[in-house]
Structure 1
Amino acid sequence: MMIDFQILATEVGAIARAAGAAILEIYADESNFGIEHKADNSPLTRADQAANAVIMAGLTKLDFQAPIVSEENKEVPYQERKDFDYFWLVDPLDGTKEFIKRNGEFTVNIALVKDGSVVFGVVYVPVTGELFWAAKGHGAFEAKAAGPERIEAANFTMKDAGLKVVASRSHLNEGTQAFIDGLVDPVLVSKGSSLKLLLVASGAAHLYPRLAPTMEWDTAAAQVIVEEAGGKVLQAATKEPVVYNKENLLNPHFIVYGQLRD
């Protein structure tokens, strides 16, 4: 199947922007976030559900049709998922905790997965209006008024001094601390949601060690953006790329690299 990713980027970008608008409408009304907690105690707001409704409606109207797996939909059993050719993998509001804190560091993530890897992804930042997208083999871009602008990850070696590392300043776990301790005068950069991967994709940071749990929908859209910007998202244990549509949708621990030279 030939997909025109340029057209898809325009269409899915518009869906992500519409979802972002739905999120911002609720974001403006702090007294009415409608915060609930899911079974795993992670927060859910009216904004997660509103964005999900917009994305579901938008994707089902596209000429290109594929099943949808979303964080906010009922879980699709693996028996059914394993036979999917293409499917959409969606996090309607990534960074719900950041949304609740009102620090602006949340995103809309829409990815297209085929055979375990992401072939297309859109990440939209509602508060800033920034929109990033990438398609496998086509490059990574930020949508600008004048047209798409290519983004590139920074070029570096692990021995360089002053590497910018995306990590939480407040709670570094042992594995992350050990990783950072192996670097020369690293500079810590803190960000929420999939913006962490975008910092590496755009060259604003060099490394992002994620030695803590994430789900597939948290990383899919941003992973293809990192890869097409020249970087890598590798499993910490095996150094193989992070893969998708596993039986368990929990990601392994991983490290995001910009353009690493030996």
Structure 2
Amino acid sequence: MNSELLSIAKEVAIKAGLAIMDVFVSEDFATEYKADDSPVTKADKTANDIINSVLESTGLPVLSEENIQIPFSGRQSFTKYWLVDPLDGTKSFVRREPDFTVNIALIENDTPVLGVVYVPATQKLYWGSVGGGAFIKEAGVQKQIHVSETAEPLRVVASKNHLDDATARFIEQFRNPDIKNIGSSLKILAIAEGTADIYPRLRPSCMEWDTAAAHAVLEAAGGYINDLENKPLSYNKEDLLNPGFIATNNLKSFKI
């Protein structure tokens, strides 16, 4: 069953990504701002409509950043549902930078068991599932991906738009780290494909839909995302804000 759902998620992620690129190359983003001052564009809304129209046909609930939010009383009984960010990295998108993604995750019992991430600007498609491995398809070529051994110097990925003081101090403990600032879920995917070792985000500043799809890919690739109590990130909490966390290729190497 989940293999069929994976195929559906991959197909609609690409379809949404093509619609996003139509807006990206235009001059009409129709940017608005939410109450938290985060931007939302025509691309966010169009991609969301495309994804909803397909995922709703599976009969599973859809929890998306751009949908009217379902109160906890209405979703606490969810055992299996879709968790979607139709356009992660909207700030990069508005600046016409390429690091934005389409994120679709399948959550079962508060755990991401399947994830698809599409990168519209580069046409890279990532996916992973529990027991099924993690993969990337680029320029028509598909290959399996896996986390790498921890490198020296340490390869750190950090948020381009949300680097907080606590995270900066945490990074300072490492000797001459190789630091890259990247937008969207691409930070987690860098670890999954073996080009980074750790992504710390110690201050709660992103939502469950920002991490779920890439979380599934990373775990399928042999990596981890744990909170600051060293427990795996959990989903469908009453508050959808993620706690501070560390994504990494090797839990034993890093301590808070």
Same fold (TM over 0.5): yes
Q: Which amino acid aligns with 1:60?
A: E
Partner in structure 2 of residue 128 of structure 1 = 122
Could you tell me which residue of structure 1 aligns to residue 107 of structure 2? 113
2:112 is paired with a residue whose SS is strand
| 1:186-235 alpha-carbon deviations (Å, 9 max, x no partner) | 10012110011101111111000012310000000000111111110010
Q: Partner residue of 1:83?
A: 77
Change in CA separation of 1:35 and 1:86 when aligned onto 2, cut-off 3 Å: same
Contact 1:209 1:254 in 2 (8 A): yes
Aligned-pair CA distance for 1:95: 0.4
Instruction: Establish whether residue 13 from structure 1 lines up as the match of residue 10 from structure 2.
Output: yes
1:95-129 deviations in Å (ceiling 9; x for gaps): 00000010111000000101110011100000000
Say if 2:39 is the partner of 1:43. Answer: yes
Is the CA contact (8 Å cut-off) linking 1:67 and 1:88 kept in structure 2? yes
Match of 1:215 in 2: 207
Mapping of 1:196-211 within 5 angstroms? 196-211=187-202
Counterpart mapping for 1:87-106 below 5 A: 87-106=81-100
Tell me how far apart the structure 2 counterparts of residues 44 and 258 of structure 1 sit (CA, whole Å).
Answer: 32
Task: Identify the match of residue 192 of structure 1 among 183, 186, 211.
Answer: 183
- Structure 2 gap ranges (5+): none
Q: Tell me how far apart the structure 2 counterparts of residues 102 and 170 of structure 1 sit (CA, whole Å).
A: 14
C-alpha deviation, 1:258, in angstroms: 1.1
**Distance (Å, rounded) in 2 between the aligned partners of 1:68 and 1:230:** 27
Considering only aligned residues, what root-mean-square deviation do their CA atoms show, in Å? Answer: 1.7
CA contact (8 A) 2:116 2:125 kept: yes
- Other-structure match for 1:234: 226
- Give the conservation status (yes or no) of the 8 Å contact 1:155–1:260: no
2-structure distance, mates of 1:67, 1:172: 33
Per the TM alignment, residue 170 of structure 1 is displaced from its structure 2 partner at its CA by: 8.0
Q: In structure 2, how many angstroms separate the alpha carbons of the residues matched to 1:183 and 1:169?
A: 19
> Which deviations, in whole Å up to 9, do the C-alpha atoms of 1:168-199 show, x marking residues without a partner?
47874321122112212210012110011101
Q: State the aligned residue count.
A: 252
* One-letter identity of the residue aligned with 2:29: F
Q: TM-score, normalised by structure 1?
A: 0.91
Question: Are the equivalent residues in 2 in contact too, given 1:109–1:221 (CA < 8 A)?
Answer: yes
Following superposition, the deviation at residue 161 of structure 1 comes to 3.2
Could you state the TM-score of these two structures normalised by the residue count of structure 2?
A: 0.93
Q: Does structure 2 conserve the Cα–Cα contact (< 8 Å) formed by 1:104 and 1:127?
A: yes
Aligned-pair CA distance for 1:147: 6.2
**C-alpha contact 1:169 1:188 (8 A) present in aligned 2:** no
- CA pair 95-171 structure 1, distance change in 2 beyond 3 A: closer
Residues 1:67 and 2:67 aligned together: no
CA, structure 1 residues 171+39, in 2 after alignment: closer, same or farther (shift >3 Å)? closer
Q: CA deviation at 1:12?
A: 1.3
Identity of aligned residues (%): 44
Where in structure 1 are there 5+ consecutive unaligned residues?
none
Residue identity matched to 1:38: K
